[in-house]
C-alpha cells in the first residue's frame, strides 16, 4: 500500500492501491509486538523462531496481540517501522552482553504481512529505539534509545484484523567460514515491534 498525503488536507491520505482516501486524524502512534524465548545452550543451525504466532499464557509485557498472527478484531494499522529488542533482564536473571551480541549478530529476521515480504535482514539492522544507553564496554541497548532510530520501512503497509502477520528469526551456520553456532549462557528473549498509526476498534 502506498499512501500519498492530500495537499491542504492534514491527516488525509490517498491510497494508490485501492483508489480511496484514508483519514488518519483518529489514529494514535503505537506498537504491536510479540516475544519469543530462546533457551540457553547451543543454537542448532537452521533453527527458526516464530513471532506473533504462539500467544499462550503471554501477558502484555511480552505481547499485545489478542489473536494469533492478527491485530484485534476491528483494529486498523498503518505499519511504518520495525524494531527488535533483546531484553537485558528476564525476571531476576540479567542477560549477559555476550549473549545479546550472539543473538543480534546471529539471527536473521523476516517479516511478511498478508503473505507479502515487508522486511528482512540481520537482527542488528533493526534497532528497537527503546532501552537504556550504554556505558564503557557494557552493552545495554540495541541501538540509540530513541524511536527515531527504528528502521523505517520504504513504504507504509496497511494492516487490518483480516490480514496475517508472519515474522521469524532464523539462525544460520556460516559454513563458508568455520562452522560456528552460538551458545548462550542463559535463556534469551527476542521481542519484535511493528510501529505506526493504530486505529482502535469501534
In a domain, residue 63? The reply is: yes
Give the pLDDT mean for 82-90.
90
CATH of the domain at 171: 2.60.120
pLDDT value of residue 113: 93
**Nearest by Cα to 54 from 78, 35, 26:** 35
Match 503473505 to its residue by C-alpha cell: 115
What is the per-residue pLDDT across 94-147, written as a single tens digit (0 to 9) for each?
Answer: 888 899 999 999 999 999 998 999 999 999 999 887 766 565 556 555 556 666
Q: What is the mean pLDDT of residues 13-29?
A: 77
Which residue has better confidence, 143 or 167?
A: 167
Residue 123 counted as domain residue: yes
Choose from 22-26, 124-128, 167-171 the range with maximum mean pLDDT.
Answer: 167-171
116: containing domain: 27-199
User: Beta-carbon neighbour count of residue 184 at 10 Å?
Assistant: 20
- Per the structure, the count of domains in the chain is 1
> Is a pLDDT exceeding 60 seen at residue 37?
yes
pLDDT tens digits, residue range 178-202?
778 999 999 999 999 999 989 876 5
The whole-number pLDDT of residue 4 equals 78
Q: Is residue 13 part of a domain?
A: no
Give me the pLDDT at residue 10, please. Answer: 75
Report in angstroms the alpha-carbon separations of 62 from 52, 122, 171, 189, 193: 11, 22, 22, 9, 11
DSSP conformation class of 177:
S
What is residue 48's predicted lDDT score, i.e. its pLDDT? 97
* 17 in any annotated domain: no
Residue 6, in any domain of the structure:
no
Give the model's confidence band at 2: pLDDT under 50 very low, under 70 low, under 90 confident, else very high: low
Amino acid at each position: 500500500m502506498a499512501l500519498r498525503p492530500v495537499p491542504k488536507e492534514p491527516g488525509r491520505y490517498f491510497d494508490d492501491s485501492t483508489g480511496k482516501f484514508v483519514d488518519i486524524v483518529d489514529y494514535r502512534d503505537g506498537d504491536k509486538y510479540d516475544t519469543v524465548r530462546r533457551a540457553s545452550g547451543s543454537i542448532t543451525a537452521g533453527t527458526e523462531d516464530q513471532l506473533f504466532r504462539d500467544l499462550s499464557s503471554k501477558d502484555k509485557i511480552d505481547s499485545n496481540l489478542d489473536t494469533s498472527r492478527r491485530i484485534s478484531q476491528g483494529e486498523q494499522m498503518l505499519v511504518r517501522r520495525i524494531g527488535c529488542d533483546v531484553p537485558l533482564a528476564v525476571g531476576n536473571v540479567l542477560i549477559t552482553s555476550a549473549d545479546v551480541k550472539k543473538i543480534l549478530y546471529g539471527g536473521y529476521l523476516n517479516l511478511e504481512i498478508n503473505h507479502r515480504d515487508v522486511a528482512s535482514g540481520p537482527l542488528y539492522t533493526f534497532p528497537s529505539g527503546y532501552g537504556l544507553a550504554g556505558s564503557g564496554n557494557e552493552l545495554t541497548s540495541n541501538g540509540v534509545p530513541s524511536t527515531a532510530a527504528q528502521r523505517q520501512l520504504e513504504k507504509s503497509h496497511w494492516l487490518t484484523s483480516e490480514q496475517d502477520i508472519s515474522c521469524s528469526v532464523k539462525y544460520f551456520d556460516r559454513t563458508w567460514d568455520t562452522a560456528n553456532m552460538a551458545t548462550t549462557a542463559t535463556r534469551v528473549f527476542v521481542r519484535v515491534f511493528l510501529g505506526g498509526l493504530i486505529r482502535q476498534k469501534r
